[in-house]
Structure 1
């Protein structure tokens, strides 16, 4: 029997087929999970890499062709009502929700001189507030049985400086520090909470020079891939990881920015 057979999982931030959310979705379908995918492509359209036109629809078709039961919701997580609405959508579609993979992220590319109050607030709203409210909404409707799972994402700010991404790393550092407290609160209810740092991940935003420079800091001589991250997520959601909680785990091949 597949490791996640019968489990319903919400995966946020799955708007680009080349990125981590899509990689996680492919792995979870292969492991037998039923999925609600979340996306918000207008954020990608603002970035240098641009939106993946038709990407989510194509991903849903791909996953269904692979035998997956998959639904999709597009929603702006800057809206404080959106996290609870996403959890409601999972219950409407599937009658339950067993796990949340909070993969979504807002990136702004602001250094100290470029920093604005508006971007700080928006980054915290999307990256930190929305994740906390997702956990709250999920836990409020969970049936207190073994097997509940929450996976949040941080970045590499605790391993090395990222001076050109200040709003992003500040909001991601908050999730890193929240993980242990959420884990202690929810473990008695059968829910584990863990945090993943996927390391520099080759999702189509970097040029060749950047790839080469960062690869030089990797003992394995390459960047992480969405499939690398997805393998860890699949394990954390499985029964084999039921005694692992409150942890921040780097899936980065030993990357060092030093």
Structure 2
């Protein structure tokens, strides 16, 4: 008799709501055109309760602008995907450039969802305020480090402290971070500060996975590749589309499907990995 027998036939049948009873914090989920929104919908459709973080002042400064209906419209669209009648969707703001904001955000999310956050998806990032090696300056470097790297590590720290208070081996602990393919092909020579900050997350993935292993938490980082989140149009858009074997950009739901799977128990043996979900993208 094997020490770990094969699962029964019944166990192999997939539960349509495998995240029933689980709770999720998704950061950077302020627009229906973004990856955070797509991830939140996928997790809600798998049965989870979801807390959406947003920072509308950031979107206001970007070419795509803030969500016309505001954060509540985003939350309502996620609620439409809820698979468990007992699950709920919450939302709240947070300027994660503030060193104290990550712990406050995690605490608010936990309070809203019954005192626990099972799954943390750190999707937020600072857009713009960057340059080439010749033009990047200390302010650009510091701004991206604060939002794209420091705040993520502080979120994971607050999450780890919350998980440490749970009974040993409580199942369902997941952390997913986001990188940007800065280590592939030619890198990101026009976004040095962003590439540095996101590259740090890729580098620290295994370290955080080891640190959280004692709490039965997996930690993985996803590189979604170029995703159409409404930031590019015209000839430049078509040129990027031609770099994919499928002839199209990645859509927000493409990385969302991977992240949703990583959040389930089926992915409990995957940790410390940087996973590319980029549709075979190659610069021409």
Could you say what secondary structure the match of 2:250 adopts?
coil
Are 1:77 and 2:96 counterparts? yes
TM-score, length-scaled by structure 1? 0.96
**More moved, 28-37 vs 56-65:** 56-65
Who wins on radius of gyration, i.e. which is larger?
2
For residues 224-235 of structure 1, what are the structure 2 equivalents within 5 Å? 224-235=250-261
Moved more, 34-43 or 103-112: 103-112
The answer on whether the counterparts of 2:37 and 2:78 sit within 8 Å (CA) in structure 1 is no
Counterpart for residue 59 of structure 1: 74
Q: Is the 8 A contact 1:37 1:72 kept in 2?
A: yes
Structure 1 position 89 matched with structure 2 position 108:
yes
Please report how far the alpha carbon of residue 52 of structure 1 lies from its aligned counterpart in structure 2 after TM superposition: 1.9
* Unpaired runs of at least 5, structure 1: none
Query: How far did 1:215 drift?
Result: 1.5
Paired residues of 1:151 and 1:195 also in contact (CA < 8 A): yes
Q: Does 1:147 align with 2:147?
A: no
Question: Residue in 2 aligned with 1:106?
Answer: 126
Count residues in correspondence.
258
Q: CA RMSD in A?
A: 1.3
CA distance in 2, matches of 1:49, 1:64: 24
Structure 2 residues not aligned, in runs of 5+: 1-14
SS of match in other structure, 1:232:
helix
- 1:63 Cα deviation after fit: 2.2
Distance (Å, rounded) in 2 between the aligned partners of 1:24 and 1:206? 21
Q: Distance in 2 between matches of 1:56 and 1:114?
A: 35
Question: Is the contact between residue 150 and residue 194 of structure 1 (CA under 8 Å) also seen in structure 2?
Answer: yes
Q: What's the CA shift string for 1:170-204, capped at 9, x where partnerless?
A: 10000000001111121222000000001100010
TM-score (norm 2): 0.88
2:184 equivalent in structure 1: 159
Q: Which has the higher contact order (CA 8 A, sep 6+)?
A: 1
